[in-house]
Amino acid sequence: MALSTQVGRRVERLGPRMMVACTTAAVVSAAALMGAALLMGTPVSSVWWIVAGMTINGLAQALIIPSAQTLSMQEVPEHVAAPQQE
Sign of the dihedral through C-alpha 32, 33, 35, 40: positive
Q: Which domain holds residue 45?
A: 2-72
pLDDT surpasses 80 at 79: no
Within a domain: 86: no
The angle at the Cα of 79, spanning 8 to 1, to the nearest 5 degrees, equals 20
In whole angstroms, give the CA distance from residue 23 to residue 63: 9
Within a domain: 51: yes
pLDDT for 11-57, tens place per residue? 778 878 888 888 999 999 999 999 999 998 899 888 898 999 999 99
pLDDT surpasses 70 at 86: no
pLDDT surpasses 90 at 7: no
Within a domain: 17: yes
Domain count, the chain: 1
Mean pLDDT of 62-80: 81
Closest CA to 32 of 17, 15, 54, 13: 54
pTM over 0.95: no
